[in-house]
């Protein structure tokens, strides 16, 4: 307790769920449930009519779906057997064998590229971008359809240098069909506070709009594939 408030020590929490049953006010809950691949695809199959009418299908997203590559590949394979179009929304930070396992079953990759400079990528995300860039090149060689998605965060990756380098990297990739710019949004701020993380500076919507508009203009001048806002 800190004064009248119950505070969770996130460094000690193991997500065992004991606090859920112990809380007399039912103020806590465990989010999510366990599924087998067969059961999940049977549930998804209820929407096949809508997939057929819309041209849509099933997307494995996250979090990062490649962290559950066995489950992801199984779902994708079962969807393929039912004739359902599939996509994988990924940052691409994985070993080649994991990527290949999933790529063999997926129709389309929605592939995040955040920063081209490795050191800047390490500072922003905590990991190298080397596997990210190598893996999108592998998908290109394997002939997998790719849509590049770039989350535009003002002050982090919206500068001209990064965007020009991105365009130079993407341009020769024949499998890339589109580039989508995803404007930074503040949806994660409440989650950040709920996890007891330090408060970060607020990025105002008008700053985001200007950054996305600049990026759209710059990339459309340098790429032959459609560059759009959102996706």
DSSP states along 56-107: -EEEE-SS-GGGGHHHHHHHHHHHHHTT-EEEEEE---S-HHHHHHHHTT-S
Instruction: Classify 35-229 by CATH class.
Output: alpha beta
Q: Let me know: does 57 contact 85? Beta carbons within 8 Å.
A: yes
Q: For the chain, what are the domain ranges?
A: 35-229
- The per-residue pLDDT for range 178-200, each reduced to its tens digit, is 999 999 987 777 777 777 777 66
Reported as a single tens digit per residue, the pLDDT across 11-30 is 888 888 898 888 888 888 88
* Rounded average pLDDT over 67-78: 97
Q: For residue 175, what pLDDT is reported?
A: 98
Alpha helices in the chain (DSSP H): 18-22, 37-44, 48-54, 69-81, 96-103, 118-125, 130-141, 160-170, 189-194, 205-222
């990924």: which residue's tokens?
Answer: 90
List residues bridging with 180 in a β-sheet: 149, 228
Cβ within 8 Å of residue 3, ≥6 positions away: none
> What is the reported pLDDT for 199?
67
pTM: 0.86
Arithmetic mean of pLDDT, 55-69 = 94
Q: Which pLDDT value is given to residue 28?
A: 84
What pLDDT sits at residue 73? 98
**What is the percent of the chain where pLDDT is above 90?**
72
* Residue 7 confidence class, pLDDT cut points 50, 70, 90: confident
Q: 114-151 pLDDT, tens per residue?
A: 999 999 999 999 999 999 999 999 999 999 999 999 99
């Amino acid at each position: 307790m800190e004064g009248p408030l119950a505070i969770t020590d996130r460094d000690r929490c193991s997500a065992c769920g004991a606090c859920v049953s112990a809380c007399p006010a039912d103020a806590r809950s465990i989010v999510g449930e366990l599924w087998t691949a067969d059961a999940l695809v049977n549930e998804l199959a209820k929407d096949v009519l809508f997939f057929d009418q819309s041209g849509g299908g099933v997307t494995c997203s996250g979090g990062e779906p490649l962290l559950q590559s066995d489950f992801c590949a199984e779902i994708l394979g079962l969807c393929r057997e039912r004739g359902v179009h599939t996509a994988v929304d990924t940052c691409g930070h994985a070993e080649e064998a994991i990527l290949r396992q999933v790529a063999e079953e997926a129709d389309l990759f929605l592939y995040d590229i955040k920063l081209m400079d490795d050191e800047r990528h390490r500072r922003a995300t905590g990991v190298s971008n080397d596997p990210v860039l190598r893996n999108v090149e592998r998908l290109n060689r394997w002939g997998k359809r790719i849509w590049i998605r770039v989350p535009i965060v003002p002050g982090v990756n919206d500068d001209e240098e990064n965007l020009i380098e991105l365009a130079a990297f993407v341009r020769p990739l024949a499998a890339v069909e589109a580039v989508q710019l995803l404007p930074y949004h503040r949806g994660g701020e409440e989650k950040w506070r709920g996890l007891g993380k330090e408060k970060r500076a607020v990025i105002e919507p008008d700053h985001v709009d200007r950054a996305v508009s600049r990026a759209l203009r710059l990339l459309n001048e340098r790429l032959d594939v459609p560059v759009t806002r959102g996706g």
